[in-house]
Amino acid sequence: MVDRVDTAIFVRTYFMDCMGCSYCHDSCCQYGADVEGDLMPRVMAHAEAIEQYVGVSRDRWFRGGCDVEWTADGEFPGGRQTRTSVEGGACVFRSRTARGCTLHSFALERGLDYHEVKPMVCSLFPVTFDYGLLHPSNEIEDRSLQCIDDGPSLYKGVRSEIAWYFGDALVAELDALEGTGSAPAPPALRGPPT
């Protein structure tokens, strides 16, 4: 449930064309990702095929291995969340041979909706939510995202994902807010983090 929005999502920008990027090497995947509780049964329904596709056994996919460690979290679908594992400096599901998320490409190659197997925070990135607030991800705030300040607004980049997860009514409200001109001016550009 979202009941507030940080209007920085309308003014902060990022490259967005991940498949057209040749410089970041999916750096946004370096920490793994939060995984909503109701995603797990959908992923596990395809576990054998995903194992073969990803080349990593399912006992290495999530925090806690075979005994997945869950944290109660009412904001996530399913009322709980865990995290993907990190191996070799990146999320276990980041492709090691191409660009992007192997869960995403697995779904597309099999004619599945990627929302069925890909964590919602990955689809919404670089926008996130907590405590009812829709806002820029930490990588925007701390300026560690390599593709910051180049391209469309964060909101425009993930507008369809916000609609998927939070509904068309919220997107209509956000469209209206974006159109009011009440969004703040972008912060002064600073150099890359040191």
In a domain, 25, yes or no: no
Q: Residue 45 above 70 pLDDT? A: yes
Give how far the C-alpha of residue 151 lies from the chain's centroid of Cα atoms, to the nearest Å.
18
* Residue among 112, 117, 121, 115 at smallest CA distance from 54: 117
Rg (CA), the chain: 17
Instruction: Give the number of residues written for the chain.
Output: 194
- Residue 194 confidence (pLDDT): 35
Do 54 and 125 belong to one domain? no
CA distances in angstroms from 171 to 17, 56, 106, 108, 164, listed in the order given: 21, 37, 28, 25, 10
Q: Which residue has the higher pLDDT, 106 or 181?
A: 106
Q: What 3 state SS string does 49-114 have?
A: HHHHHHCCCHHHCECCCCCCCCEECCCCCCCEEEEECEECCEECCECCCCCCEHHHHHHHHCCCCH
In a domain, 151, yes or no: yes
The residue among 116, 140, 155 that closes a domain is 116
Region 36-43 average pLDDT: 94
CA distance 84 to 88: 13
Do 160 and 173 belong to one domain? yes
Phi, psi of 172 (to 5 degrees): -60, -40
Q: Residue 148 above 90 pLDDT? A: no
Predicted model pTM: 0.84
In a domain, 129, yes or no: yes
- Residue 146 confidence (pLDDT): 65
Do 38 and 112 belong to one domain? yes
In a domain, 4, yes or no: yes
Do 71 and 98 belong to one domain? yes
Task: Name the strands in the sheet holding 133-136, side by side, starting at the edge strand that comes first in the sequence.
Answer: 4-5, 133-136, 127-130
In a domain, 148, yes or no: yes
Do 44 and 76 belong to one domain? yes
In a domain, 194, yes or no: no
Do 81 and 110 belong to one domain? yes
The residue among 94, 116, 138 that closes a domain is 116
Tens digits of residue pLDDT in 109-120: 999 999 999 999
Do 75 and 49 belong to one domain? yes
Bond preceding residue 187 cis, omega within 30 of 0: no
CA distance 98 to 83: 22
Percent of the chain scored above 70 by pLDDT?
Answer: 85
Q: Residue 192 above 80 pLDDT? A: no
- Residue 18 confidence (pLDDT): 59
Q: What DSSP state is assigned to residue 188?
A: P
The residue among 116, 144, 164 that closes a domain is 116
Tens digits of residue pLDDT in 47-61: 999 999 999 999 999
Torsion of CA 160, 164, 167, 168, to 10 degrees: 40
Q: What's the structural domain count of the chain?
A: 2
* Residue among 49, 73, 43 at smallest CA distance from 61: 43
Do 56 and 107 belong to one domain? yes
In a domain, 21, yes or no: no
Tens digits of residue pLDDT in 16-34: 655 555 666 666 678 899 9
Domain span including residue 144? 1-16+119-184
In a domain, 136, yes or no: yes
Do 50 and 87 belong to one domain? yes
Do 98 and 111 belong to one domain? yes
Q: Residue 182 above 60 pLDDT? A: no
Do 52 and 65 belong to one domain? yes
Do 69 and 101 belong to one domain? yes
